[in-house]
Structure 1
């Protein structure tokens, strides 16, 4: 019985941390989010993983995440192949499909989360798992300096990162982008939770 209770304990700890982190993120001012996004963007642009990447996956940011628009523009203008998430509403599936240019980005429909993503029925876009990936920029709710991550609870990125490891050799590097307030000392984890190679925050 004790072993069966462990996952429940971890789930409860994760739920509590998610609740706390959502309140913290909600309290951040637009000015703070913009300034921190600017600092993190510059650090990513100077990071060797980004500089050396030819194929990268980049999340299209929500209001409570480090803004990735400047990174997207830089990547596309510098000739990198950019892949963006496409979430499937009927489960935990997510793929990464190619974004051709900024006009393509502007035409993307909005999801119920008010973020842009390619339509589920758009089957003609190259898939990152077939094209190859050098780098994935990863969002989340909380991170440790060592690379542990707390997502939003759907398992999209954990599942996708595991799939990358099984299909791509070598697997892509992973960089988390975070506000300073998202850095915590400890995150409760399950065996299937994926650690990241590095976390980039203003003071980390």
Structure 2
């Protein structure tokens, strides 16, 4: 098989494994995954994590988390977003632009800022201002289907996050910390990688935290 065919086959296999988790298994594993992600957030947003008042106002210049809304059998990582809201940390979510295969970022402060968008995924309201200042992003929480032991990532085939992460190099910006939460069932020996694919700084499952390059 060529690399495209290998990716398609692996996506199907891992999606089957991920979807096969029972609700009780899923809830238990998600708690552990989110605890690991929040430990990363506490490091990245140390100056803001001390604020616990829900009245704290998000300030983009203080640093932002770019995250996503979980879909289908993905781990539910929304507790991370809620943790940020409680501490006044700016949360950015994407709107997918199908025609250009790009993502527009918008700051969201509650679930009321969301609506059902592309492919049935919840996205920011179109009325929310677009955020173009990528230098404010301190951490990106990315989705994915499979990850390997060298933190290679297999996405869903659209290339949205591959293109987005490349923007930091193109704009000569300091890249943010890229983190992924996944179930152990999503970890494979090797993910087929193309030239445009990127590796994750930190992959967190219910049983492990794997980093690369000492990050």
TM-score normalised to structure 2 length: 0.82
Match of 2:183 among 176, 179, 193: 179
Is 1:32 matched up with 2:37?
no
CA 1:28–1:68 in structure 2 vs 1: closer, same or farther (change >3 Å)? same
Q: Distance in 2 between matches of 1:160 and 1:112?
A: 18
2:13 corresponding residue in structure 1: 20
Measured in 2, the distance between the counterparts of 1:11 and 1:29 equals 30
Where 1:35 maps in the other structure, the secondary structure is helix
Instruction: Give the equivalent residue in structure 2 for 1:5.
Output: none
Q: Which residue of 1 aligns with 2:103?
A: 94
Relative to structure 1, is the Cα distance of residues 16 and 62 closer, same or farther in structure 2, using a 3 angstrom cutoff? Answer: same
- Per the alignment, residue 112 of structure 2 pairs with 106
Correspondence list, 1:14-163, <5 A: 14-47=7-40, 49-52=43-46, 54-99=63-108, 101-102=109-110, 105-119=111-125, 121-122=126-127, 124-129=129-134, 132-163=136-167
Report the Cα distance in structure 2 between the residues aligned to 1:92 and 1:9, rounded to whole angstroms: 24
Equivalent residue number for residue 4 of structure 1: none
Measured at CA, do residues 49 and 132 of structure 1 come closer, stay the same or move farther in structure 2, by a change above 3 Å? same
1:55/1:134 contact within 8 Å kept: yes
- Segments of structure 1 that go 5 or more residues without pairing to the other structure are 1-7
Q: Distance in 1 between matches of 2:88 and 2:147?
A: 30
Post-superposition offset of 1:111 = 2.1
Query: What TM-score comes out, normalization by structure 1 length?
Result: 0.86
For 2:203 and 2:164, locate their aligned partners in 1 and report how far apart those are by CA, in whole Å.
18
1:164-198 CA distances to partner (integer Å, 9 max, x unpaired)? 23225211110011011001110001111011111
* The structure with more strand, counted as a fraction of residues: 2
**3-state SS, counterpart of residue 70 of structure 1:** helix
Q: Deviations over 1:144-166 (max 9, x none)?
A: 13210000000011111111232
- What residue in structure 1 maps to residue 169 of structure 2? 165
- How far did 1:112 drift? 4.6
Q: Which moved more, 1:54-63 or 1:170-179?
A: 54-63
**Cα distance between partner residues in 1 of 2:130 and 2:100:** 21
How many matched pairs?
192
SS in 2 for 1:95: strand
